[in-house]
Amino acid sequence: MAEQKITTTGIAAHGSSRLPSVDVDSFNIELKDEDGFLGDRASKGAFRDILEKWRKPLRKSGEDPFGKEHSENISKKALDAILIGDDTEASAVVHSAVEDFAQELAHVTRRILNTKAWDKTERIVVGGGFRDSRLGELAIARTEIILKAEDFKIEMQPIRHNPDEAGLIGALHLAPSWIFEAHDSILAVDIGGTNVRCGVVETRRKKSPDLSKACIWKPEFWRHADDEPCRESAVKRLVRMLEGLISKAEKEGFKLAPFIGIACPGVIESDGSIQKGAQNLPGNWESSKFNLPTSLVEAIPRIGDHDTAIVMHNDGVVQGLSEAPLMQDVKRWGVLTIGTGLGNARFTNRNGKAEK
């Protein structure tokens, strides 16, 4: 019965390669080298390891400008301040780490661009938590310069929205355009290995029909890593968050669509199950006996007067989709998300102006 619900109330297949405005040519590529997964060389943790490497020789001589604080515990905000601060030695250490990280990111990007799925990619937007900092922006800019020096015809730019918002706003592009004719907002969920974010996403189609002016109203945030819940408890908490948002949206007078877009780590199957890549989520989300969209439809069968429809896709794909309105001048583009690992997705516009 649960399978029938998800089939009849869904709009598009979960993890679909064909979405309303783009074809998803590839996502979650896992390239390897002799040291393991290639993406691990360009993750948040990799940057901290590089920073630690540059501090070691200074620490031996007792001249480490960061003192005894471990590199993992220095905030991005503090590192950004050091980049432009008066302590030239500390600034030089951070700049050195940024340069080395950019070299690693360029190496990984080069390998990805050389795959068949990423052939003829014209632009890459970079998201994830690392992007949300000055040092992240510098690393992205430096990576583009390195690749262009090697004759790669590629643009690289930071994702426009705050990465926390991009993972919700991108959910709009999982829904078919007709659903917005009678509604001005949807529910969106972004599930990560540390946090769960939910929000009401306003389409603002009257201001911009291409959804480029979309924004988040009443976001909800839960750092589940602190609570270490079991899978069932995590789903129940998510349901309560969504029910609360539905109630608030109705009181505010929003015309909430009967649609929930979900961003989730891993390889998402068409039935809503997760094949792999969800190891950081609370409990076993890859179990054949668990299906998040089915669980949510059973808990929230209707929104307003209509049956609830749900589409779930990989979190890197959804974060990239937030940039879709700004990618209409190119045909083929991709997204890299720098976080615990390196997420990736490649898109081809179907309705864009560019035909190359």
pLDDT band at 352; cut points 50, 70, 90: low
pLDDT at 52 over 90: yes
* Strands 302-303, 306-307: pairing kind: antiparallel
Handedness of CA 209, 213, 219, 223 (dihedral sign): positive
Per-residue pLDDT of 74-124, as tens digits, reads 999 999 999 988 999 899 999 999 999 999 999 999 999 999 999 999 999
Q: How large is the angle between the packed helices 88-113 and 134-149, nearest 10 degrees?
A: 50
Inter-residue contact 312 to 25 (CB < 8 Å): no
Q: Say whether pLDDT at 254 is over 60.
A: yes
**Contact call for residues 31 and 24 (beta carbons, < 8 A):** no
Could you give the CA distance from residue 292 to residue 296 in angstroms, rounded to a whole number? Answer: 6
Is residue 250 within 8 Å of residue 256, measured between CB atoms? yes
- pLDDT tens readout for residues 280-324: 899 899 998 999 999 999 999 999 999 999 999 999 999 999 999
- Map 254-266 to HEC letters: CCEEEEEEEEECC
For the whole model, what pTM was predicted? 0.90
168-192: average pLDDT:
95
pLDDT digits (tens, 9 = 90+) for 94-105: 999 999 999 999
If 0-12 CB within 10 Å is exposed, 13-18 middle and 19+ buried, where does residue 98 land?
A: buried
Q: According to the model, what pLDDT value does residue 64 have?
A: 85
> Who's near 189: CB < 8 A, 6+ residues apart?
168, 171, 196, 197, 198, 238, 242, 260, 261, 262, 263
**Closest alpha carbon to 31 in 101, 154, 116:** 116
Residues 259, 262, 268, 271, Cα dihedral to 10°: -30
The alpha carbon torsion through 317, 202, 19, 270 (nearest 10 deg) reads 70
b/e per residue 260-298 (b: at least 16 CB within 10 A): bbbbbbbbbeeebbbeebbeebbbebbeeebbbbbbbbe
Question: Does the pLDDT of residue 193 top 90, yes or no?
Answer: no
Provide the 10 A C-beta neighbour count for residue 246.
20
> In sequence order, what DSSP letters do the residues of 157-169 get, joined into one string?
EE-SS-HHHHHHH
- The CA-atom distances, in angstroms, between 262 and each of 84, 166, 169, 198 are 38, 12, 11, 9
**How many other C-beta atoms lie within 10 A of the C-beta of residue 151?**
7
